[in-house]
Amino acid sequence: MKKLGVAVIGTGFWGRNHARVFKELTETELLAICDIDAERAKNVAEQFGVKPYTSTERMLKNENIEAVSICTWSTSLAKEALKALNAGKNVLVEKPMAANVKQAETLLKTAEKEGLHLTVGFLMRFIPGLQRIRKAIEDKALGELVCANAKRVGQWPERIGDVGVVKDTAIHDLDVMRYIFDEDPVAIYAKTGSIAHRKFEDYAQIMLVFKGGKSAFIESNWLTPYKTRVFMVTGSEAIMKLDYITQELTIENAKETLQPRYTMQEPLKLELQHFAKCITEREKPLVTGEDGLKALKIAEAALKSSITGRVRTLTN
Ligand SMILES: NC(=O)c1ccc[n+]([C@@H]2O[C@H](COP(=O)([O-])OP(=O)(O)OC[C@H]3O[C@@H](n4cnc5c(N)ncnc54)[C@H](O)[C@@H]3O)[C@@H](O)[C@H]2O)c1
């Protein structure tokens, strides 16, 4: 089987993991990496035995590169993704996809015009426990879906300096809620603020309301001294809890508590494997460009709600 030629743009904390996984997968061949930090580009390229670049334009001239992961700072993701799409490459752009909705819309239009694959790094969808929760909801194993809660808190990762906790951190849960409820929220209300961060919000509580009154609550911050990443969904007959860190899943009803055992899998590996398969087999990805755009729209609505103190919809 011919391997998919891939490259990574931005090889800091997260991009280095993309490079490692692309190197490990049998479906992909890592051909090059690019980072504007020349020293970093050289070190990472050496580690993986590929060619380093400090200019995206030069790297994208390589015709053997068919797909690119974009892992630069959040505010430069869209610019780099657009360059890759315009160079005819399929793209996985990390969350939050773009600095704003307008940039994300341009990415969607360009990918569609060029007939290229565009997906967004919403890693949570690849955690097997979340897939099981979604399946249980579909099968009505929890009864009627009532509400969901997500908590994603911990200390500020200081390398993140260009967006706040909503676009950096809560955006994962905004996507998870759309995925689990399988629809867009009809109302968004949020309270955000800043305690330690000078430029951006470092805590956020976001409430989403879905059709028929189902609701979701998201708590995110960069203040809690330890890291917690949990998700809980309540149905009329049972609840399911997922710890994203340990991947431990718990199902509880009035009679029993179950903890199904299943093999822990690296979500990034599953995500990048899926990315390569969708390109090779021309399949629709689990996360579309539209999913990225919608999550960003909800994030911006939440930020506006916090400023105005009003409930927002996706259209106002
Ligand atoms: N999906 C996830 O779970 C997940 C996890 C962590 C980070 N991320 C996302 O990945 C991205 C990177 O995060 P990070 O923690 O690795 O940040 P980082 O600061 O460690 O790395 C960013 C790297 O990009 C490089 N860079 C910046 N602009 C560039 C450009 N125009 N061209 C080439 N290189 C450029 C920087 O020099 C740096 O090496 C962010 O968008 C973040 O939101 C996603």
Residue pLDDT, tens place only, 76-93:
999 999 999 999 999 999
Question: C-alpha distances in angstroms, 118 versus 36, 85, 130?
Answer: 23, 9, 22
In this predicted model, what pLDDT tens digit does every residue of 2-53 receive, in sequence order? 899 999 999 999 999 999 999 999 999 999 999 999 999 999 999 999 999 9
Cβ neighbours around 150 below 10 Å, total: 25
Average of pLDDT values for 101-117?
Answer: 97
The alpha carbon of residue 69 and the mean position of all alpha carbons in its chain are separated, in whole angstroms, by: 13
Q: What angle do CA 234, 237, 241 make, to 5 degrees?
A: 35
Average of pLDDT values for 248-271?
Answer: 95
What is the distance between the alpha carbons of residues 102 and 147, in angstroms, rounded to a whole number?
A: 31
Q: What is the pLDDT of residue 2?
A: 87
Q: How far is the CA of 186 from the centre of ligand 1 (A)?
A: 32
State the maximum Cα–Cα separation within the chain, in Å, rounded to a whole number: 62
Radius of gyration for the chain, computed over Cα atoms and rounded to the nearest angstrom? 20
Q: Which pair of structure tokens corresponds to residue 29?
A: 């061949």
Average of pLDDT values for 240-263?
Answer: 95
Q: What is the pLDDT of residue 63?
A: 97
Residue 219 Cβ contacting ligand 1 at under 6 Å: no
Q: What is the pLDDT of residue 101?
A: 97
For residue 174, give the amino acid letter: L
Q: What is the pLDDT of residue 197?
A: 85
Q: What is the pLDDT of residue 157?
A: 77
- For tokens 């059709």, the residue is 211
Residue 159 Cβ contacting ligand 1 at under 6 Å: yes
- For tokens 């899926």, the residue is 274
- For tokens 């930020």, the residue is 303
305: Cβ contacts below 8 Å, ≥ 6 apart:
188, 189, 190, 311, 312
Residue in 11, 13, 14 to alter for ligand 1 test, most ligand atoms within 8 A of Cβ: 14
Average of pLDDT values for 130-144?
Answer: 97
Q: What is the pLDDT of residue 262?
A: 85
Average of pLDDT values for 109-122?
Answer: 98
User: Does residue 218 register a pLDDT over 90?
Assistant: yes
Q: What is the pLDDT of residue 127?
A: 96
Average of pLDDT values for 272-286?
Answer: 96
Cβ neighbours around 7 below 10 Å, total: 29
The closest residue, in CA terms, to atom 10 on ligand 1 is: 71
Give this prediction's pTM.
0.97
93, 123, 218, 206: CA torsion to nearest 10: 10
User: Does residue 240 register a pLDDT over 90?
Assistant: yes
Residue 271 Cβ contacting ligand 1 at under 6 Å: no
User: Does residue 238 register a pLDDT over 80?
Assistant: yes
φ, ψ for residue 55, nearest 5 deg: -120, 120
Mean pLDDT, the chain, integer? 96
Residue 74 Cβ contacting ligand 1 at under 6 Å: yes
Q: What is the pLDDT of residue 161?
A: 78
Q: What is the pLDDT of residue 156?
A: 82
User: Does residue 316 register a pLDDT over 90?
Assistant: no
